[in-house]
Amino acid sequence: MLLGEVIEFLNVRPEGFYIDATSGGGGHSEAIAGRLGTGRLLAIDCDPLALAMAGERLARFGDKVKLVHGNFAEIDRLQAEAAFPPADGVVADLGLSSMQLNDATRGFSFNLEGPLDMRANPATETTAGDIVNYAGERELADLIFKFGEERHSRRIARAIMKARPIRTSTSLAQVVTRAIPSRPGLHQIHGATRTFMALRMATNREIENLEQFLARVLDVMAAGGRLVVIGFHSVEDRVTKRAFSAWKQERRVRLLTPKPVRPGEQELGENPRARSAKLRAIEKQP
């Protein structure tokens, strides 16, 4: 996702030290590692399955790359435990990988029948199914509105309450779409998109983890180091934009992207999932 732009804004140098805070399947990590000489890369991800895939992809780089299982919210602890130097660049891609979306057993997709799981880290205690089947109606409505920005959140929450227990992703998708008034003739996203996004974010505490990451990331960076964050919806993008703006006012960073960078037509043609991606970047001041 936005691979060329990530490499450009990170300004990857052969002797530099870089952190891929959300390595996923290893796409950004591979591009960074391929440009290193004496430098090193720390690749972090909370999903052990994704990290295993990244390990296979990055094996050819040997000890230039160190893989760590953990949540980017604890980037300072993970860096210290890995004895990794202050980073010349950090990238955080906040989106799901195709591997996660296409695996029905993970429950992320409303198009594939699977359990209502949605945990990025299988060791996480709470699943999306726990939220769907045990949260109160008001709590459900509030989180669907807050994280999914779904204006029919209360209608959807009432429908979920009536349909309980809901066990599979496709069953939930049907409940949600039936609860939303149809508007024939208009091109719209799938009716369950916002609700599924909200449940995934709540299950994985994504906004809380992003806020903790942003509160700590400058401390792991070298002076002149660069941070690139790719967000996919307005909630997380607002959190990133707010942090960057505050740092700029405090003169802690130089803003590299006055406006978010979006994918070009070629990338959108090759990967329609990139349509909502927004890249923001800063450079840490001395």
Fold annotation for 3-99+207-284? Rossmann fold (3.40.50)
Q: Could you read off the pLDDT of 31-50 as tens digits, one per residue?
A: 999 999 999 999 999 999 99
Which part of the chain is CATH 3.40.50.150? 3-99+207-284
Cβ within 8 Å of residue 25, ≥6 positions away: 50, 53, 54, 57, 97, 98, 99
pLDDT of 72-109, one tens digit each?
A: 999 999 999 999 999 999 999 998 877 888 899 999 99
Strand partners for 254: 283
> By percentage, how much of the chain surpasses pLDDT 90?
88
pLDDT band at 186 (very low <50, low <70, confident <90, very high): very low
Q: What percent of the chain has pLDDT over 70?
A: 98
pLDDT at 265 over 90: no
**Mean pLDDT for all residues in the chain:** 94
pLDDT of 63 > 60? The answer is yes
Please, which pLDDT band fits residue 134 given cuts at 50, 70 and 90? very high
List where CATH 1.10.150.170 sits in the chain.
104-204
Q: Tens digits of per-residue pLDDT, 223-251?
A: 999 999 999 989 999 999 999 999 999 99
- Residue 283 pLDDT: 98
CATH number for 104-204 (one of 3.40.250.10, 3.30.230.10, 1.10.150.170, 3.30.470.20): it is 1.10.150.170
Answer yes or no: is pLDDT of 112 > 80. Answer: yes
12-22 residue pLDDT tens:
999 999 999 99
Residue 162 pLDDT: 98
